[in-house]
Chain A
Amino acid sequence: MNIVVAVKQIPDLQQIRIRDRRPVLDYVPCVLGDIDKSALEAAVELKESVQGRVIVVSAGNGEIEDTVKEALAAGGDEAVLVEDDTLADADSSVVAKVLAAAIRKIDDVGVILFGEGSADNYSGRVVSAVAADLGYPQVGYAKQIEVDGPLARVTRSLEDSDEIIEVPLPAVISVVSEIKEPRIPSVTSILKARKKPKAIYRLDDLGIEIPSGKNITTISNLAPVSERKGIVVKSVDELVKILKSERRLER
């Protein structure tokens, strides 16, 4: 049984500067989001118990082939990629359709892992749409996954409790970052990543209808204005009091 992990290429958030409250993306390299790397780490651990392969799936523009090396260095066995420049700013509904079509190309899929939301837009819409498209059950907020024959037992991290549920496989599972700390890949695994198998599809190869026009319009996406309040406190007690009065300590 194979484990699929969907990863998304995002701009390196540490290198983004904000100008006029908008992100400046020029010359910012593409990387994988941290939560996707946690999902990958969980997949690599699951692999031991199911004796399958970890297959990384991603859709994006021409840089995706390079970006996915990070996942192949960190334990992915092979990659299935959909490469098209129009995918860089496609709607989540389009991305979901494309990912579902790519996953259909893979044999013997048992578990399909996602990060709970992508580190750049965090719309969190892709996971459900992929599950619906494939007709598989979906589980969110997973912090632990065990595969037991035809079932997966998933511990979900909810606000004030954990919920353990069983789900028949194949299933789509999205994980929270606590599930696993991503590994640091070794130098040799980074160099070997280049040689791992990669299947690269164009949009036309997938045989799906991509709706023309956009379903989603972004009206505004601005960095919050941060203003210092300039309140000087003389003691920790005073600080705590002020934070409490602003209801900042109650979350």
Chain B
Amino acid sequence: MEFKLTKEQELIQKTARDFADRSIEPAIDHIMKEHAIPQEILDGMKELDLFCLPISEAYGGAGAGYQSYVLALEQIASVSPGVAIVISVNCFGLAALEMFGSEEVKKRYMPGACTGKNIMSIAMTEPEGADPRLVKTTAVREGDEYVLNGTKRFITACGYEGPLVIFARESDTGQICGFVVEKFCEGYSISEPWDKMGLPGTPMYDVYLKDVRIPVGNMLGELNQGFRILKNSIALGKIGISSIFLGTILAAYEECMKYAGERIYLGKPLTQFQYVQGDIVDIAMKYEAARWLAYRLGYLADMNEDKGNIIKDSALTKMFVTNTAVEVARSAINIHGSYGLMENYKVSRIWRDSIFGPQTEGTNALLRSVVAMDILKRSK
């Protein structure tokens, strides 16, 4: 067991932080007002290979592995979780293609998304909910093509050009399968962006598919494999979400250290008050616990060829980190007193961002039942 970053990991972590400080931080106001990431930031992330960190070099990825991915996303998210999401959703999609796409699909779609020229999306959730049993979108086989119809809800980054992995019910088997669709192809349209309370930068929309035709080869994996594809992809997606909310914990921690050192109350800095000390120590403790759990999830993803092996750990990590992020954000506001509720204090933003963690990519309530099934089955 070794709890130490390699030099390469240290440098990748630093690259992400330096980029976030140098290029994203000065653009935060713009991102908040326009709800969009400026093109220069997307270009900068392309140049630094941040869009494809964990994806293998064979298909145009950086090949840096999931441990480095966690480290980099954490740093970017500590400055802007909204920007980090565009990376994580792209890697989520790329990982699904890498695991289950045919050679032809990988060659056609992965290199463009690895450079960040195209940005991937994943569409599971529908107006009725995110549970696979609720999927109503259909993929009807007609000769060499599938014809897709349906509505997907809350889909991140689907306003950018690029491939979209869409989960739909396959007509011959009635099972859920993943299909690759090019965004903005004939029959594809999107709603106005949802007006969400936090995570500015990467808007989400509803996606409408009306008689969208794709080649049969754009189905991921084999028939009847759909649920496995879904579960394994979602397990990798949780690495992204865990890293992003680890980043908000780090941000809250840094803000509190700074504020408590600078704010003078009754003639002395806040750091000299025992209650504040206790709150900050609790944040430090929670940050350490969350980060080593998230780094370990990256390690497990690197070590396990079959990503099905990390489903339980990814759910546990996602729940712990996102719940912790909300607790820490709450406590950070406390330390800031009323200032913490003001728009121009970063902790108010951290609060509105953190609250997203437990609700997304499977609510934590849902994940508890996933893990319960897994561990109780084993104990029988």
Residues of A near any B CB (own CB < 8 A): 29, 66-67, 69-70, 73, 184-188, 190-191, 193-194, 230
Q: Are B47 and A186 interface neighbours, CB within 8 A?
A: yes
Residues of A within 8 A of B11 (CB): 69-70, 73, 185, 190
Q: Are A184 and B49 interface neighbours, CB within 8 A?
A: no
- Cβ of B34 within 8 Å of any chain A Cβ, yes or no, is no
Give 20 CB contacts A-B under 8 Å: A67-B7, A69-B11, A70-B7, A184-B19, A185-B11, A185-B15, A186-B15, A186-B47, A186-B49, A187-B12, A187-B50, A187-B53, A188-B62, A188-B63, A190-B11, A190-B12, A191-B63, A191-B64, A194-B8, A230-B267
Residues of A within 8 A of B12 (CB): 187, 190
Residues of B within 8 A of A190 (CB): 8, 11-12, 15, 64
CB distance from B65 to the nearest CB of A (A): 10
Q: Are B62 and A191 interface neighbours, CB within 8 A?
A: yes
- Cβ of B133 within 8 Å of any chain A Cβ, yes or no, is no
User: Nearest 9 A-B pairs (CB), nearest first?
Assistant: A187-B49, A187-B62, A66-B7, A186-B48, A190-B11, A184-B18, A186-B49, A188-B49, A69-B7
Residues of A within 8 A of B29 (CB): none
With A69-B11, A73-B11, A194-B8 as known contacts, state yes or no: A187 contacts B18, CB within 8 Å: no
- Cβ of B22 within 8 Å of any chain A Cβ, yes or no, is yes
Residues of A within 8 A of B50 (CB): 187
Q: Is the interface on chain B under 10, 10 to 19, 20 to 34, or 35 or more residues?
A: 20 to 34
Q: A184-B19, A230-B267 are in contact. List 9 more A-B contacts (CB 8 A).
A: A70-B7, A184-B22, A186-B49, A187-B15, A187-B62, A187-B64, A190-B8, A191-B62, A194-B8
Docked complex: B1-42 residues within 8 A CB-CB of A: 7-8, 10-12, 15, 18-19, 22
Residues of B within 8 A of A191 (CB): 8, 62-64
Residues of B within 8 A of A193 (CB): 8
**Which of chain B's residues has its CB closest to A230's CB?**
B267
- Cβ of B68 within 8 Å of any chain A Cβ, yes or no, is yes
Residues of B near any A CB (own CB < 8 A): 7-8, 10-12, 15, 18-19, 22, 47-50, 53, 62-64, 68, 72, 267
Q: Are A187 and B10 interface neighbours, CB within 8 A?
A: no
- Per the bound structure, the CA–CA distance linking A29 and B4 in Å amounts to 11
CB distance from A32 to the nearest CB of B (A): 11
- Per the bound structure, the CA–CA distance linking A194 and B47 in Å amounts to 20
**Which of chain A's residues has its CB closest to B6's CB?**
A66
Residues of B within 8 A of A66 (CB): 7
Residues of B within 8 A of A188 (CB): 49, 62-63
- Per the bound structure, the CA–CA distance linking A230 and B269 in Å amounts to 12
CB distance from A79 to the nearest CB of B (A): 13
- Per the bound structure, the CA–CA distance linking A194 and B9 in Å amounts to 12
Residues of B within 8 A of A69 (CB): 7-8, 11
**Which of chain B's residues has its CB closest to A65's CB?**
B7
CB distance from A181 to the nearest CB of B (A): 9
**Which of chain B's residues has its CB closest to A27's CB?**
B4
- Per the bound structure, the CA–CA distance linking A62 and B8 in Å amounts to 17
Q: Are A184 and B15 interface neighbours, CB within 8 A?
A: yes
**Which of chain A's residues has its CB closest to B49's CB?**
A187
Q: Are B68 and A187 interface neighbours, CB within 8 A?
A: yes
- Per the bound structure, the CA–CA distance linking A25 and B138 in Å amounts to 62
CB distance from A53 to the nearest CB of B (A): 21
**Which of chain B's residues has its CB closest to A66's CB?**
B7
- Per the bound structure, the CA–CA distance linking A191 and B48 in Å amounts to 12
Residues of A within 8 A of B22 (CB): 184
CB distance from A68 to the nearest CB of B (A): 9
CB distance from B28 to the nearest CB of A (A): 18
CB < 8 Å neighbour of A187 from B7, B48, B267: B48
